[in-house]
Structure 1
Amino acid sequence: MLTTERKALLMDRLRRDGRIVAKAIAEEFMLSEDTIRRDLRELAAEGLLNRVHGGALPISPDLPDFATRTRIESDEKQRLASAAVTLVSPGQMLFLDGGTTNAALARILPRHFAFTVVTHSPTIAAELEQHPTAEVILLGGRLYKHSMVAVGAMTAEAIGRLRPDLFFLGVTAAHPTEGFSTGDIEEAAIKRQIVQQAASTWILLTSNKLDAASPANVVASDQITGLVVSNTVEASRLAGFEAKGIRLLRA
């Protein structure tokens, strides 16, 4: 079998199954596992898939810049935010990650009791400008413009002094085996530190981020508390998360 034929078959299988296990596909094609792994490395170098331990996953879709994402209205994001707000209790310290889905949550946070919101995103802080009962703490650092969040040593030092009750984490990809990931290594490190500091971590996860991986891992899938997901997502796509003890909140 020619290299181009093997690669075409691998991409077809990835599109069909959503995952490639190198050992299984090598046995099926009656090829060496080294050959399949080499093909996967080359396909990854071409930007066609994401190499993971033992095989490959689809690449999470490229996100447009923040300004473009802000203009995209999403009924799914609104439904996720409406479900997530039920997790908020009086007196809590919340940490809101950046992103347009968390911005939707910020806009509907309760107004009849007091709580504190910590964020390293100036856009999230701006959403809370007129909120009557939220105390807002904005952390500084180097601005990562693609996500409009602060990153770096200054941000990390401030996070290390906090113990949030609830962290709403933003990611670009989620997989029960490969965990939760994003596109930038430094941003991933800041997210990971907040997870470690927070008593509980929830992700408002739009369906387009499922069954994929981004280049920078944030945390393993068993390191978060729960997922807020659309009730239109098939149960089979979430079974792997449930098996790891992750709670599901349907929206």
Structure 2
Amino acid sequence: MLAAERHEVLLERLARDGKLVAKLLASELGISEDTIRRDLRDLAAAGLCQRVYGGALPVSPAIGDYTARQSINADGKRRVARAAASLITPGSTVILDGGTTTLAVVAALPQHLRATIVTHSPTIASALIDHPHVEVYLIGGRLFKHSAVACGAAAVEAAQVVNADLFLLGVTGVHPETGLTTDDSDEAAMKRALAARAADTYVLASSEKIGAASRFSVLPLAKVAGIITDATADSPVMRQLTGLGHHGIYA
């Protein structure tokens, strides 16, 4: 079997099964594990899968640039945003992550809401200017342009003085095996720092992120209170997640 043919088979299996296990594929196709691993390296380099220990998982479409991500599953993100906005109660202190789904959360907030919102995203902070009763605290640091958020040591240090009721966390991948992931190590560290400052963390996960994985771990799923998603409760990955005891809020 030629390399191009193997790649086609691997991508078909990834779409069908939601994961690739190198050892099983090597046995089934009658080739070496080294050949399968080489094929997975090629596919990962082309942005077609995310390699993990022992195989590969679907790559998240949410690792594209900020402008491109605004057009991905826009309706699903709005549904997730409305469900997330309903968790923000009057008088509460809330940390909002950066990203396109969180921007939709701001758009879903009632104009009369009285709350305190902390964010490391200048985009989110500026969108809150039109909410007269929301007090906004902006965490500064090195600007990570992909997600338009502050990251790095200065941002992590600034987060240490925050005590919040709720953190609405954005990620690029939610998977039963890899947990919550994103594609930048500094951004992952910033997300962990913010999650540590909130009583409850909920994940904003529109359906294209469910079952996908990125390079860097943010948190294990056991560390969050729930997953807010427009995926259906009977989708294979959500059934697996709920079977493991993880709580889904369906938008």
* TM-score by shorter chain over 0.5: yes
Q: What is the CA–CA distance in structure 2 between the aligned matches of 1:125 and 1:62, rounded to whole Å?
A: 22
Measured against aligned partners, the alpha-carbon deviations of 1:78-97 in whole angstroms (never above 9, x if no partner) come to 22121112212233211000
Other-structure match for 1:90: 90
Distance 1:16 1:71 in 2: 25
Unaligned 5+ residue runs, structure 2?
none
Paired letter, 1:10: L
> For residues 119 and 133 of structure 1, what CA distance do their matches in structure 2 show?
16
* Paired position in structure 2 for 1:107: 107
Task: Tell me the distance in 2 between the aligned counterparts of 1:201 and 1:3.
Answer: 44
Q: What does residue range 1-251 of structure 1 map to in structure 2 within 5 Å?
A: 1-61=1-61, 63-70=63-70, 74-112=74-112, 114-230=114-230, 232=232, 234-251=234-251
Deviation, structure 1 residue 44 = 2.7
Cα distance in 1 for residues equivalent to 2:175 and 2:185: 18
CA contact (8 A) 2:112 2:131 kept: no
Shift in Å at residue 42 of structure 1? Answer: 4.0
Q: How many residues align?
A: 251
Counterpart Cα distance in 1 of 2:28 and 2:91: 57
TM-score of the aligned structures, taking structure 1 as reference length: 0.88
Following TM superposition, by how much is the alpha carbon of 1:189 offset from its aligned partner in structure 2, in angstroms? Answer: 1.1
Is residue 173–residue 211 contact of structure 1 (8 Å, CA) maintained in 2? yes
Give the aligned residue type for 1:237: V
List alignment gaps of at least 5 residues for structure 1: none
Code of the aligned partner of 1:176 = P
CA–CA distance in structure 2, aligned partners of residues 75 and 10 of structure 1: 31
SS of 1:161 mapped into structure 2:
coil
Cα separation, partners in 2 of 1:122 and 1:185, compared to 1, 3 Å: same
Q: Deviations over 1:56-101 (max 9, x none)?
A: 1122126443345457782222221211122122332110001121
Asked if the contact 1:222/1:244 (under 8 Å) is kept, the reply is: no
Letter of the aligned partner of 2:154 in structure 1? Answer: M
Q: Does the aligned pair in 1 maintain the 2:207–2:231 contact within 8 Å?
A: no
CA distance in 1, matches of 2:247, 2:100: 23
**Residue by residue, what CA displacement relative to the aligned partner does 1:27-53 show, whole Å, maximum 9, x if unpaired?**
323444444334323433444321112
The residue identity in structure 1 corresponding to 2:13 is: R
Instruction: For 2:59 and 2:95, locate their aligned partners in 1 and report how far apart those are by CA, in whole Å.
Output: 28
- Tell me which amino acid in the other structure corresponds to 2:149: V
Question: How many Å separate the matches in 1 of 2:71 and 2:230?
Answer: 21
TM-score, structure 2 normalization: 0.88
Aligned residue for 1:242, secondary structure, equals helix
CA distance in 1, matches of 2:2, 2:67: 44
Change (3 A) 1:91 1:101: same
Q: Alpha-carbon deviations, 1:129-185, whole Å to 9, x = none? A: 121322111011011112110011110001122222111111112211111212211
Distance in structure 1 (CA, Å) of the matches to 2:194 and 2:206: 21
Look up the equivalent residue of 2:208 and give its one-letter code: N
Moved more, 131-140 or 236-245: 236-245
Could you tell me how far apart the structure 2 residues matched to 1:8 and 1:108 are? 42
Identical amino acids, percent of aligned pairs: 48
